Structure 1
């Protein structure tokens, strides 16, 4: 059973006289997968170079391209030197000391569900262990290593992007603490790709350290789950499917932040301002975070998932029994069943996520703004937080709250760059943004003015704290949105509308399509329990009396539906064109309409535009075309207009009566 008891691992550090004594202690770290001969970073690289699959591949290239094999082996060695991790305990101890000092200054606490990580330790030794944390911040892999150091678990080998590899000094420091580097694309460099796959194979079969990777592939700038990537997962699972290891244990982990240190950077990126290139100087500039407070962090370790048990009878190995094992690859059948595990890991991360009071406050403030209501007083906010907390807990949310008054006051203090008390009312902070030094040639979409950015950034930052709640709400929100149009409807018609809208939003709110019927029935049952809908006859249902929750649900998905609708309009207007034009024109049209209607600035975010294009591609309403000039899209007008017709009633209902009059201060 999942432990709900969390311990603050910073607490012992606060009371000790000397941190150096603790970080320099003798460590007898738990090993993930015991080997007869203990490997080291260099032995892994040597084993890959000598591997029969690599050698046969080099022989083939040497013959076909008339290149000396010795030269090719040198290239493989260079690739391995680029990829390979290292382990330097002195550097690990030094970074632990630095991290303690920073965390004690900026964090209220780092909370771990102690029983779960101790249970994971009991499983170590007999099988490869794979840590799969959510990815919301660069701090994720640092905190994961610090937790392992604290609990005497071997620091994992961590899959890191090449962005970090080129950072002066920092690249080698990360490598010395277990990072191995992977290119995001290999541009048909099959020598690199074959070497990298064999390196992963070596770490899984013959490595003794845990492996850590982010199944979403990149940081989620929006602070909600992204569609899982299957490439690295396929590589890790290959030895299980080929019976080269008895089992592989996956540990899903949710890392939840009360405040994300990159929140402002993410807001800029979502609005189209490109992120700065990772650099060592940029890293040291980021240390200015020690002047601010970031509240608490929760690392919630989930129940370990046995790959062998998860796949069960589906783990067919008969088709891998013919021929030499080094010549075999995953079959199409294998690749088709692996996504179910990827989605299960994402689902576990969502269930494990910890919400803070700021997530509830953000949802309530957003609801008031979206519905052009008066600002909440502190007392009104407190009452609504308590009410919303109860609602969310009925939906299965884990909410960190020991004393609601203290938590609200702490949230207002930690997030005073977004939310302020203005004459006793809860208001959104404003800031003046200077774009004088912006390189407009690198903008991903429309050039937003300083006025638009100053208005939008705080509201987009605030939405980043709404997003972690939405996996609890999106299914209910769709059901309520359907009823807003239909008034009365049968469960079968409701199911059809739900499945259609859920499919439209497939990339926005991650779901595993084979489970969509089960998710509908769960949401339908919850809607009745919360009195969102009520049975009115033998076959029909209509909206229930819980109007406050209905409004919150609708306002929570409003920006996404609006973004999708506007992009469809742009594609209808401009037809087949390149991606940048689509993004630019969609942002331009939304900004134009924001002057008279309350359109949430989160509707401008490029992540949602990207998800919309993926969804339209999935519906075959557009066709994605790759060329040397980038991406472009060809439009199928018949299918596009069908989607427009299906989205339009939702937009008309959601924005009915939302013309800004009394709240003119929120105009641009």
Structure 2
């Protein structure tokens, strides 16, 4: 099945900075203006009273039937169960106090203008969506890379006079003093992180959500990934809330549902350093009002530009008929559910979010700098040379379908300097024009209690090295969506060798293995695997990375090296974890203990020089590897009380290691004769993995 392409025909000149007008007019007058907000679904009854909305849910036939069933099952009175249901509804329920929203919005816009340069929106698309609103429920599905996502969504809709979305928020926020109440008054409704074992809560929450879809007049907003992505890569979508949202359509309560994927692209992510520490095992600070007040120190920093891209809405009715089956009978729900409608839709939404990410200059610079540091190059990295690589690599990414901030040879150095200024806490440029990472001197890990860590207690030197490298990788990762399939094939072809060839079927089988192994690292959609393989081959041939008939390596060695180096952290990290599982005496591991032990082994291999990229220390990566091995039945997941254990099948593990070793390569250094051309052939120098990590440390 071919995935429907809902991507907008995007060019950056179609974006408008909606923050510019806020710099030139009164914020107070804007926030207090008379409103005539466009409703997503025009209703013919008054829904302004949130308590009446909760009461309607409580009095619904489904909830009353549920109360009777629970009271009989638990041998208690209807009144007791009813009281519990009311408490649940109060916990979940949103309110809509426009006075609170206006005051909060006024404060937010003041902060936003201090820390953000521009908020770019593809205005034509959101105006088109606005003009079509009214006949069906609208559900916004933004990417989730920062806590700023849902604040920006509310700001953008308020700017365009669209009803403020009802936002599905985690209970962490509800427990924050003052802030929890403000968010509720600004249309946030709250959901527990997990409620599989609480059927009463699940049923009440489900009914509340479906009541919002059927009778609400405001858009609904939720994050299909479930949580923020700490790695800046898309997460595998969750299906629970999505299943609840589409049920009113199958019940015939609404004529259609529009899903609108939204992509947020940040020049600098507000939580970048927190994410790096979290991936290394330092627990996330608990959400609190005092923590939010402390976080206001961000006003001392500048975070550059934000791009918000609204995609074409996905009509759920058209999606089902065109994508799954033209003869689908909506009244026979089982046939629809068996076709995996939410599975397909969820992956389509995430795919659309990724395609519509705008790559800025720093994303490209991060790729160049990470590659340079990883191969332990002894030569200084001069900004004049980097500017040529950034222009060249921007052109390559455009051929892969990415929307990239425009940059030319004439303006490259000045654009780079502006980008580096936003990231001055991470990157510096010396008086001689040499680019390097800012050295981190942080003794924070010395005072950490090992019992509070998710992973191993890393040495101070390793922490100081790893934090900036993981932070830099956060800006490389958004680029990987556009390159991942091409990079996988390039890695396989490199192992075939320059003077040999491979048949297409063998190449495809290796391609499938790598995608299966990385299925929790990247978002792969299996039904389009063959199509994506063919598309990647075409792109690689156009770039002269491979040649067809027979399939063999082409002559663009610079790109071959770069594509392989991009995947080095993942291949080497997974191989290290698998080898550790094979050589360890334990056949069964408690999850947390395994994370600690595996991370400790990786630290040892980084120090010895066997590994060259500190990103391998990421607990997100190790967890993704565990999930993949579990899917491949190499690990068996066992629950023992509140703990999760994994049992190793070493007989199944050995072939996986063998496959990985056959694809393993060392980072490659390229030397460019003429970087202005996409058709150059560059020589490759292989760097020995025995070189100590201190050489990388010296670059910091």
Question: After TM superposition, is the score higher than 0.5?
Answer: yes
**Whole-Å separation in 1 of the counterparts to 2:608 and 2:656:** 26
Match of 2:598 among 580, 586, 594: 586
What residue is the counterpart of 1:627 in the other structure?
640
1:27 aligns with 2:32: no
Partner-residue secondary structure (3-state), 1:181 = strand
Give me the whole-angstrom Cα distance separating, in 2, the residues matched to 1:390 and 1:202.
48
Q: What is the CA–CA distance in structure 1 between the aligned matches of 2:264 and 2:185, rounded to whole Å?
A: 23
* Structure-2 residue corresponding to 1:325: none
1:390 aligns with one of 392, 395, 417: 395
* Residue number in structure 2 paired with 1:484: 494
CA distance in 1 between counterparts of 2:354 and 2:367 reads 18
Match of 1:2 among 6, 9, 32: 9
Q: Is the 8 A contact 1:3 1:115 kept in 2?
A: no
The equivalent position to 2:83 in structure 1, one of 51, 54, 74, is 74
Identify which of 112, 120, 129 aligns with 1:103: 112
Q: CA 1:330/1:297 → structure 2, altered by over 3 Å: closer, same or farther?
A: farther
- On the 8 A contact 1:570/1:582 being kept in 2, the answer is no
Instruction: Tell me what 1:576 maps to.
Output: 588
Task: After TM superposition, give the deviation of residue 429 of structure 1 in Å.
Answer: 1.3
Residue 482 of structure 1 aligns to a residue in which SS?
helix
1:649 Cα shift? 2.1
**Structure 2 match to 1:289:** 298
* Residue 192 (structure 1) shift: 0.7
Counterpart-to-counterpart distance in 2, 1:578 and 1:202: 42
Backbone CA RMSD of aligned residues: 1.8
1:12 to 18, 21, 30: 21
Work out whether 1:213 is the aligned partner of 2:222.
yes
1:158 aligns with one of 159, 162, 167 = 167
Q: How does 1:91-240 map to 2 (within 5 A)?
A: 91-186=100-195, 188-240=197-249
Q: Deviations over 1:217-270 (max 9, x none)?
A: 000000110000000000001111222210000001100000001000000000
- Map Cα deviations across residues 170-220 of structure 1 (whole Å, 9 max, x no partner): 100110111100001125211111100000110001111100000000000
Are 1:362 and 2:366 an aligned pair?
yes
Give how far 1:141 is off: 0.2
Deviation larger for 591-600 or 296-305: 591-600
Which one of the candidate residues 469, 473, 483 is aligned to 1:473? Answer: 483
Match of 2:522 among 493, 509, 528: 509
Which residues of structure 1 form unaligned runs of 5+? 322-328
Paired residues, number: 657
Q: Deviation string for 1:70-106 (max 9, x for gaps)?
A: 1111111110000011111111111221122112111
Residue 611 of structure 1 pairs with residue 611 of structure 2: no
| 1:58 equivalent in alignment to 2:67 | yes
Q: Give the conservation status (yes or no) of the 8 Å contact 1:570–1:586.
A: yes
* Equivalences for residues 528-539 of structure 1 within 5 A: 528-535=541-548, 538=549
**Aligned to 1:465, what secondary structure does the other structure show?**
helix
8 Å contact kept, 1:240–1:248: yes
Name the SS of the counterpart of 2:639 in structure 1: strand
Contact 2:376–2:695 (8 Å) recurs in 1: no
Match of 2:419 among 404, 411, 414: 411
- How far, CA to CA, are the matches of 1:65 and 1:395 in structure 2? 59
- CA–CA separation in structure 2 for the residues paired with 1:658 and 1:256: 37
Q: 2:562 maps to which residue?
A: 552
Are 2:283 and 1:253 aligned?
no
**Residue 37 in 1 paired to residue 45 in 2?**
yes
Could you say what secondary structure the match of 2:608 adopts? coil
1:439 deviates by 2.8
Q: Distance in 2 between matches of 1:334 and 1:67?
A: 37
2:353 aligned residue: 349
> 2:607, 2:692 within 8 Å by CA — same for their partners in 1?
no
Name the structure 1 match of 2:467. 457
Q: Is the 8 A contact 1:489 1:542 kept in 2?
A: yes
The CA distance in 1 between the partners of 2:64 and 2:283, in whole Å, is: 42
Instruction: Extract unaligned runs of 5+ from structure 2.
Output: 1-7, 669-685
The structural deviation recorded for 1:331 is 7.1
TM-superposed deviation, 1:320: 4.5
Task: For residue 647 of structure 1, report the CA deviation from its aligned partner.
Answer: 0.4
Deviations 1:511-543 (CA, angstroms, capped at 9, x unpaired): 1111111110010100000111123xx4x2221
User: Is 1:448 equivalent to 2:458 in the alignment?
Assistant: yes
Contact 2:328 2:336 in 1 (8 A): no
Structure-2 separation of matches of 1:229 and 1:335: 17
Give the distance between the partners of 1:37 and 1:198, measured in 2 at CA: 19
- Do the aligned partners of 2:376 and 2:696 also contact (CA within 8 Å) in 1? no
Query: C-alpha distance in 2, partners of 1:359/1:513?
Result: 28
Residues 167 and 222, structure 2, Cα contact 8 Å, conserved in 1: yes
3-state SS of 2:425 partner: coil
Does 1:425 pair with 2:438? no
Identify the residue that residue 326 of structure 1 maps to in structure 2.
none
Closer/same/farther in 2, CA of residues 605 and 104 from structure 1, 3 Å limit = same
Report the counterpart of residue 324 of structure 1 in structure 2: none
TM-score, normalising length from structure 1?
Answer: 0.95
Aligned-residue offset at 1:135: 0.2
2:98 to 85, 89, 108: 89
Cα distance change on mapping 1:591 and 1:30 into 2, 3 Å: same
CA deviations 1:603-628 (Å, max 9, x no partner) are 01011111111111111111111222
User: What is the distance in 2 between the residues matched to 1:502 and 1:102?
Assistant: 42
Q: What's the TM-score, normalizing by structure 2?
A: 0.91
In structure 2, C-alpha distance between the alignment counterparts of 1:247 and 1:377, rounded to whole Å: 56
Look up the match of 2:659. 646
Q: Does the 8 Å CA contact 2:568/2:666 hold for their aligned counterparts?
A: no
Instruction: Between 414-423 and 69-78, report the one with greater CA deviation.
Output: 414-423
Q: CA deviation at 1:663?
A: 8.1
